[in-house]
Amino acid sequence: MLTLSPARGDRVRSRGMVNMNTTSYAVRASEWAPDEQKRAALGYLQEAWNEARLEGIDGDCLAQTCLFAAFAEFVTTYGEEAAARFAEGLAARIHNGEFSITMARQ
């Protein structure tokens, strides 16, 4: 069961909160299921990405910076060896289309 606490502010939806019966409630991220956390995290990143693009930041610059930040977090959390093993498997995943957004039509 999720513990809900009242929240205030206009940016309720974009900051990982749930709107229920015109009253806003914040849901603690630590109580979300892992898939819910991933969806919320992706939403935050997409929002930040879109804001940066509107400010004129180049997409390639954003991508490189995001990769740096992601790998720095992996190294901090799991260590250099585990992060390197993860990175070694990325080429095959890219070739398999796991990161492709548009699918080729047959």
Q: What is the pLDDT of residues 29-41, one digit of tens each?
A: 667 788 899 999 9
Residue 25 domain flag: yes
- Per-residue confidence (pLDDT) for residue 46, from 0 to 100: 95
**Number of neighbours of residue 16 by Cβ within 10 angstroms:** 19
Instruction: Please determine, for residue 10, whether its predicted confidence score (pLDDT) is greater than 90.
Output: no
Q: Do 68 and 45 have their domain in common?
A: no
pLDDT tier, 102 (very low <50, low <70, confident <90, very high otherwise): confident
> Total domain count for the chain?
2
Selection from 14, 60, 16, 36 nearest residue 5 by Cα? 16
Residue 91: closest CA among 101, 83, 79, 99: 99
Asked if residue 74 and residue 34 are part of one domain, the reply reads: no
**d(C-alpha 31, C-alpha 68), whole Å:** 28
Domain match, 38 and 70 both: no
Domain that includes residue 62, residue range: 58-99
Mean pLDDT of the region 9-20: 38
Per DSSP, helices labelled H in the chain are: 34-54, 59-78, 80-88, 90-95
Please indicate, yes or no, whether residues 1 and 46 belong to a single structural domain of this protein: yes
Q: How much is the average pLDDT of 67-81? A: 96
Q: What is the per-residue pLDDT for 33?
A: 82
